[in-house]
């Protein structure tokens, strides 16, 4: 499966539950609401540790899309992104008994995702698909698609936007591994310096320097599109 390790123990995560994560939760789904507030994700994961299966389903539903998105930006393959994301949650489930809420749940989650993504990228570096963009795929900055929205863009403007998106993706793809990870987490996953630093196990100052170098490189290489 594209370099993703999956063994018989993955049966612990029901395939039906994974597919259901793309649909609204059923009425009996786990709710993080408690008297006086709401459980943090770390507290929900502690419920998972205690054997609460609906709590795990809740975390999968909450983070499935962000993790698939992260994996797609690393793998550039929809199928691989789905496989890798599923493996992330399988590892979360298998690690539930050893989980300690010493950091934000998302930090722990993205460490697992990052390790899988990096290993997959290294294992498949000679078979990576060409970086492309689709006409119905949202623009990274505006969130709009490349299709003509109410006639406000002409055909030439659509092509120019498509070229810009493709150029950005290619240049991000070509960044050194750590810079690429930091940019994807910062720009596309909306993570702050502190959390990126925790995921990458770096200091905040080192993370800021990493992102500064990455953005300087992108700014220089993409200046004709800025």
pLDDT digits (tens, 9 = 90+) for 92-138: 999 999 999 888 899 999 999 999 999 998 887 766 555 554 434 44
Asked if pLDDT for residue 170 goes beyond 90, the answer is no
Task: Tell me which of 77-86, 125-134, 180-189 is least confident.
Answer: 125-134
Task: Tell me which of 16-25, 63-72, 107-116, 123-132 is least confident.
Answer: 16-25
Q: 106 lies in which domain range?
A: 1-129
What's the pLDDT at 61?
A: 94
What's the pLDDT at 148?
A: 39
Is the residue at 29 inside a domain?
yes
What's the pLDDT at 20?
A: 53
Is the residue at 138 inside a domain?
no
Is the residue at 70 inside a domain?
yes
What's the pLDDT at 155?
A: 73
Top pLDDT among 10 and 157 is at 157
What's the pLDDT at 47?
A: 94
Give the model's confidence band at 165: pLDDT under 50 very low, under 70 low, under 90 confident, else very high: confident
Cα(211)–Cα(73) distance, integer angstroms: 17
Among 23-37, 128-142, 168-182, which range has the highest average pLDDT? Answer: 168-182
Give the model's confidence band at 15: pLDDT under 50 very low, under 70 low, under 90 confident, else very high: low
Is the residue at 149 inside a domain?
no
What's the pLDDT at 102?
A: 84
What is the SS3 assignment for the chain? CCCCCCCHHHHHCCHHHHHHCCCCCCCCCCCCEECCEECCHHHHHHHHHCCCHHHHHHHHHHHHHHHHHHHHHHHCCHHHHHHHHHHHHHHHHHCHHHCCCCCCHHHHHHHHHHHHHHHHHHHCCCCCCCCCCCCCCCCCCCCCCCCCCCCCCCHHHHHHHHHHHHHHHHHHHHCCHHHHHHHHHHHHCCCCHHHHHHHHCCCHHHHHHHHHHHHHHHHHHCHHHC
Is the residue at 176 inside a domain?
no
Is the residue at 9 inside a domain?
yes
End-to-end Cα, the chain, rounded Å: 39
Is the residue at 61 inside a domain?
yes
* 8 Å CB contact between 111 and 191: no
Number of domains comprising the chain: 1
The CATH number given to whatever domain includes residue 83 is: 1.10.1740.10
What's the pLDDT at 8?
A: 39
**Mean pLDDT of the 129-158 span:** 50
What's the pLDDT at 27?
A: 42
**Mean pLDDT of the 16-45 span:** 71
Asked if pLDDT for residue 66 goes beyond 50, the answer is yes
Average model confidence (pLDDT) across the chain = 80
What's the pLDDT at 23?
A: 52
| Percentage of the residues of the chain whose pLDDT score is greater than 70 | 73
What are the phi and psi torsion angles at 115 (to 5°)?
-60, -45
């Amino acid at each position: 499966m594209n370099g993703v390790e999956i063994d018989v123990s993955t049966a612990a995560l029901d395939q039906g539950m994974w597919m259901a994560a793309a649909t609204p939760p059923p009425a009996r789904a786990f709710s993080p609401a408690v008297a006086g507030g709401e459980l943090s994700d770390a507290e929900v994961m502690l419920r998972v540790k205690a054997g609460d299966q609906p709590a795990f389903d809740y975390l999968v539903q909450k983070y499935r899309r962000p993790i698939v998105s992260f994996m797609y930006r690393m793998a550039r393959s929809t199928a691989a992104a789905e496989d890798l994301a599923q493996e992330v949650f399988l590892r979360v489930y298998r690690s539930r008994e050893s989980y300690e809420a010493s950091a934000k749940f998302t930090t722990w989650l993205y460490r697992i995702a990052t390790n899988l993504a990096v290993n997959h990228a290294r294992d498949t570096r000679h078979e990576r698909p060409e970086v492309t963009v689709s006409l119905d795929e949202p623009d990274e900055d505006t969130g709009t698609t490349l299709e003509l929205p109410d006639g406000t863009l002409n055909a030439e403007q659509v092509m120019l936007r498509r070229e810009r998106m493709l150029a950005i993706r290619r240049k991000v793809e070509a960044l050194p591994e750590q810079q690429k990870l930091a940019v994807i987490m910062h720009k596309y996953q909306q993570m702050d310096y502190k959390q990126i630093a925790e995921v990458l196990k770096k200091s905040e100052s080192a993370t800021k320097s990493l992102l500064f170098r990455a953005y300087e490189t992108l700014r220089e290489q993409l200046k004709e599109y800025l």
